[in-house]
Structure 1
Amino acid sequence: MSCFGKVGTNISGLNGALVVGSKAKGAVGLPSSSGSLSFGESEKTKFPALRIDFMGKQLVLSDKRALGDWSVKAPSGFSLRAQASICVSRAMRWWEKTLQPNMVEINSAQELVDSLLNAGDRLVVVDFYSPGCGGCKALHPKICQLAESNPGAIFLKVNYEELRTMCQCLHIHVLPFFRFYRGSEGRLCSFSCTNATIKKFKDAMAKYGVERCSIGPAKGLDDSELVKLAEFGEIPRDLRRLPVPTGNMVMTSLEKSGSEKRAVTRMETEDKSPLIIV
């Protein structure tokens, strides 16, 4: 039998593994306990070949086209399993390049909520992007330059592919997309822009980047967004931080629970469903 695998293919058989290819072109690697390697020419094809004593069996790998596919031949009864893997080079991770100290990668919805609440009166720019978005990639260097020239602002980067559910709860439907927040004012503006419309981003920085004090704690995400994130399990349902539905007061009374009495307030919410607050 024979099977074919390109450089970088992982082939395992019996109790060992054969790896064809490495960082060096044409390199072949084997576990030290698998067997021995020898180079020469195939007796039948007269092409460059690699002979491998693998777990007591002999394999012959011949390069029929010098730079073409490797042909792997094994004795009958010898089984092979081929598995290919794709690895993204760090050189291709454009969203990690030229980051400034005030640019922070967000890894969860809770981290986004906390970052906005802890920002105080500082301007916060939330940058929603995707690694596969060409517009995001082209705009990234300019956003880094703006972050460098505005060290008092905080730039939070949100990877749409990794936090898709959170982004959908926040109604992010186009990329690249930006949201501006500051202190108790909460969200100041939101928009999408590209390299061609970068003036929109610069105008927002000029308008909202001026330092100013706001009365009260930072607001962060809207109440409806917090409720949505809690419904989808992106953040814990904490009644001290989530908004209480509005409605008409019905009655307050003392009710007995076991040996204790407690005050219970019943409300009728806007959707007419009862809400009990203990």
Structure 2
Amino acid sequence: MAVSLRNGLCVPGLFEVGLERSEKTVGSLEVLAWKNEFKGRQVVIRRQSGCDGWSPKGHSNPPIHASTCISRAMRWWEKSTNPNITEIKSARQLVDTLLNAGDKLVIVDFYSPGCGGCRALHPKMCQLAESNPNALFLKVNYEEHKSMCQSLHIHVLPFFRFYRGAHGHVCSFSCTTATIKKFKDALAKYGTDSCSLGPAKGLEESELLSLASNRDIDFIYPMRPSRAGDLALSGTVC
């Protein structure tokens, strides 16, 4: 299921989200804990009582302490050994990778660790990357690069953008495991051998300007003194 980023998340009650409850006594403390996974993290909420009857002023119940711990096994989005899959760490890396891709098909995968649809689709993406070694798969973690994604108008996850050589952005869409045929059709259409004139186009100029105007992103545009000079010196790339 695709996840819209325009809507918030409402959790009406602890037990309504399937939390696992456990109780134990540590010394004079009675510890009541709930555990659940949220956005790839194990969330632990503890309530402690028995502290000589003490409680904060104005509160009839003991305080609740929340803590989180991240397990390496839970990082499903890092489980990939394909050499043509790259995790994007900055706006500059995204822009440069697209510009240096030549005539290769580049697929940008926008995802979130807390997106169920993204997680379900991840193994299939790894398989498709392995069966299409000439294509580049770039992964962008929405949680880590939220400001950049907003500048690129990403409003739903998982979301994919396809780029090819001098044509630049050729298509974009959201899909899930149920609609994976949409992705495979785009891969077949834009992944075939072709010949393009000029260097890779990458992002649109309006997107580059949007990134440059975002104060939360360390990105400067124009990146080179004269891009027109590159175009004038470019030849045919096949």
Which TM-score bucket, shorter chain as reference? 0.5 to 0.7
AA paired with 2:178? A
1:219 pairs, out of 197, 201, 205, with 201
Q: Distance in 1 between matches of 2:142 and 2:83?
A: 22
What one-letter code is carried by the residue in structure 1 that aligns with 2:221? R
Question: For 1:58-80, what per-residue CA distance to the aligned partner results, in whole angstroms no more than 9, with x for missing partners?
Answer: xxx24779x9968567xxxxxxx
Structure 1 pair 238–212 and aligned structure 2 pair: CA distance change class (3 A): same
CA distance, structure 2, for counterparts of residue 71 and residue 242 of structure 1: 70
1:11 alignment partner in structure 2: none
| 1:236 paired residue among 216, 220, 224 | 220
What CA deviation, in whole Å up to 9, does each residue of 1:23-62 have, x standing for no partner? xxx9xxxxxxxxxxxxxxxxxxxxx9x8xxxxxxxxxx24
Where in structure 2 are there 5+ consecutive unaligned residues?
1-23, 34-46, 53-63, 229-238
Deviation at 1:165, TM superposition (A): 1.1
CA 242–189 in structure 1, closer or farther in 2 if over 3 Å, else same:
farther
Structure number having the greater strand percentage:
1
Q: For 1:98 and 1:107, how far apart are their aligned partners in 2?
A: 16
* Structure of greater relative contact order (alpha carbons < 8 Å, 6+ residues apart): 2
Q: Distance in 2 between matches of 1:243 and 1:101?
A: 30
Q: SS where residue 85 of structure 1 aligns? A: strand
Say whether the 8 Å CA contact 1:182–1:218 is kept in structure 2: yes
Question: Which structure has the bigger radius of gyration?
Answer: 1
Percent sequence identity is 64
Answer yes or no: is the 8 Å Cα contact 1:226–1:242 preserved in 2: no
Q: Which residue of structure 1 lines up, in the alignment, with residue 59 of structure 2?
A: none
Report the 3-state secondary structure (helix = DSSP H, G, I; strand = E; otherwise coil) of the residue aligned with 1:115: helix
**Aligned to 1:211, what secondary structure does the other structure show?**
coil
* 1:188/1:88 CA distance change after superposition, 3 Å: same
For residue 94 of structure 1, report the CA deviation from its aligned partner: 1.0
**The one of 113, 120, 125 aligned to 1:131:** 113
Provide structure 1 residue ranges, at least 5 long, that are not aligned to the other structure.
1-25, 27-47, 51-60, 74-81, 245-278
Equivalent in 138, 146, 155 of residue 164 of structure 1: 146
Amino acid at match of 1:188: V
Structure 2 counterpart SS, 1:114: helix
2:133 to 130, 151, 176: 151
Shift of the 238–98 alpha-carbon distance from structure 1 to 2, 3 Å rule, reads: closer
How far did residue 237 of structure 1 move?
3.0
Over 3 Å counting, the alpha-carbon distance change for 1:124 and 1:64 in structure 2 is closer
TM-score by length of 2: 0.67
2:29·2:51 contact (CA, 8 Å) conserved in 1?
no
**Two-structure CA RMSD over aligned residues (Å):** 3.0
Q: Give the whole-Å Cα distance in 1 for the aligned partners of 2:144 and 2:192.
A: 32
Aligned partners of 2:226, 2:146: CA distance in 1, in Å?
22
